[in-house]
Amino acid sequence: MVIMTTTSSLAFLPVLERIAEEMERTPGRGRPADYIPALAARDPRSFGMAVAELDGTVYGVGEWRQPFSAQSITKVFTLALDLAREGDELWEHVGREPSGNPFNSLVQLEYENGIPRNPFINAGALVVTDRLQTRTGDAAGELLAFLRAESGNPALDFDKEIAASETANGDRNAALAHFMASYRNIDNDVPVLLDQYFRQCSVAASCGDLALATTFLARHGIRSDGTRLLTRSQAKQVNAVMLTCGTYDAAGDFAYRVGLPGKSGVGGGIIAVVPGRCTLCVWSPGLDERGNSVAGVAALDRFTTLTGLSVF
């Protein structure tokens, strides 16, 4: 069941195997996201989990090399890529406080004059993508290049079918983008921005790919090739935003149960960071009512309980 890609330390392998066995025996798994057909078709019993260590070792259990739709997990990487380019100026256009409301809510956006509460609600991610697009001319391409480089997987790509489905169901995000544009907090044309945004969300990647791509956050900002993407302080900041805002309206609950910076996506994936130690990525398509993978949260909960590696 386990495939190891390098020969270095596999410290957490026994823990992953135990978790995989427990998950096997657990019945309920929630329901896959059903707003687009390609997500709804996934089997809720699928499960994979990977650990990436600081030296680039990656290993896992279950379907840890099976690509799935990364969705909102990509928000972490676009945040890091834009923060690396513009620094603190970004925070004049998006906040870093928990939203206290379901992830699509327009209410707080209206009260706060078009400034989204944080980069991980859809409105905030649209702002980050808009700014990265202004700076690079191809935000989605920038993201893809980064993910390929960090994961070492040149085949990693967008899923055109999913991107098209997102576009066809894009009225809520179009509303958010036009609404913020009415407050002059969006620079690009809304259709251009939405195209960039939906392509990003459509990235297909495996637990192994995403665990590796996240290691710069466990290495305090250093990429896999040894260059620095973020300052130590910025890396800490991204981790802080993940912990307080990374799992929609369940950030408090996630902090309470798992106690690690994490970010979930409606494709059923969750990445998590143990600063200075390793990263994790877990995937299982069945979601709870707040949009987080049921088995994914449970597996991370078990991981921190069994290893004592919570930040608290």
Closest C-alpha to 192, from 149, 281, 235, 132 = 132
Catalytic residue status for 35: no
Is 69 marked active-site? no
Residues 5-44 as x/- pattern, contact with a second copy by CB under 8 A: ----------------------------------------
Which residues from 91-110 bind a second copy, rule CB under 8 A?
Answer: 95-101, 105-108, 110
Q: Which stretch binds a second copy (CB under 8 A): 146-154, 199-207, 221-229, 242-250?
A: 242-250
Please identify which of the residues 165, 197, 264, 274 carries the catalytic annotation.
Answer: 197
Cβ of residue 35: shortest distance to a second copy, in angstroms? 10
* Alpha carbon distance 38, 130 (integer Å): 26
Choice among 51, 238, 258, 266 that is catalytic: 266
Secondary structure, 3-state, the chain: CCEECCCCCCCCHHHHHHHHHHHHHCCCCCECCCCCHHHHCCCCCCCEEEEEECCCCEEEEECCCCCEECHHHHHHHHHHHHHHHHHHHHHHCCCCCCCCCCCCCCHHHHHCCCCCCCCCCHHHHHHHHHHHHHHHCCHHHHHHHHHHHHHCCCCCECCHHHHHHHHHCCHHHHHHHHHHHHCCCCCCCHHHHHHHHHHHHCCEECHHHHHHHHHHHHCCCECCCCCECCCHHHHHHHHHHHHHHCCHHHHHHHHHHCCCCEEECCCCEEEEEECCCEEEEEECCCECCCCCEHHHHHHHHHHHHHHCCCCC
Is 72 a catalytic site residue? yes
The answer to whether residue 236 forms part of the interface with a second copy (CB under 8 A) is yes
Stretch near a second copy under the rule CB under 8 A, chosen from 40-48, 245-253, 262-270, 279-287: 245-253
Would you count residue 243 as binding a second copy (CB under 8 A)?
Answer: yes
> Strand 48-53 vs strand 68-69: parallel, antiparallel, or unpaired?
unpaired
Other C-beta atoms closer than 10 Å to the C-beta of 34 total: 11
| Ranges within 125-184 binding a second copy (CB under 8 A) | 171-172, 174-179, 181-182
Q: In the bound complex, what is the minimum distance in angstroms from residue 43's beta carbon to a second copy? A: 28
Instruction: Select which of 51, 75, 165, 264 is catalytic.
Output: 75
> Residue 2 or residue 168: which is nearer to a second copy going by CB?
168
Distance CA 180, CA 161 (A): 28
For a second copy, which is the closer residue by CB, 25 or 184? 184
The piece of 89-97, 130-138, 159-167, 206-214 that touches a second copy (CB under 8 A) is 89-97
Cβ atoms within 10 A of the Cβ of 189, count?
11
Residue 167 or 206: the one with the smaller Cβ distance to a second copy is: 167
Q: How far apart are CA 2 and CA 155, in angstroms?
A: 22
* Residue 166 known to bind ligand: yes
Is residue 236 part of the annotated active site? The answer reads no
Is 311 annotated in a binding site? The answer is: no
The residue among 190 and 282 lying less far from a second copy, judged by its C-beta, is 190
Q: Would residue 256 show up in a list of annotated catalytic residues for this protein?
A: no
User: Pattern 181-200, binding to a second copy, x per CB under 8 A?
Assistant: xx-------x----------
- Could you tell me which residues are annotated as the binding site for substrate? 72, 122, 166, 173, 197, 248, 266
Catalytic residue ranges: 72, 75, 197, 248, 266
Q: Point out which residues bind a second copy (CB under 8 A).
A: 95-101, 105-108, 110, 117-118, 171-172, 174-179, 181-182, 190, 233, 235-237, 239-241, 243-245, 249-253, 255-256, 259, 261, 275, 305, 310-312
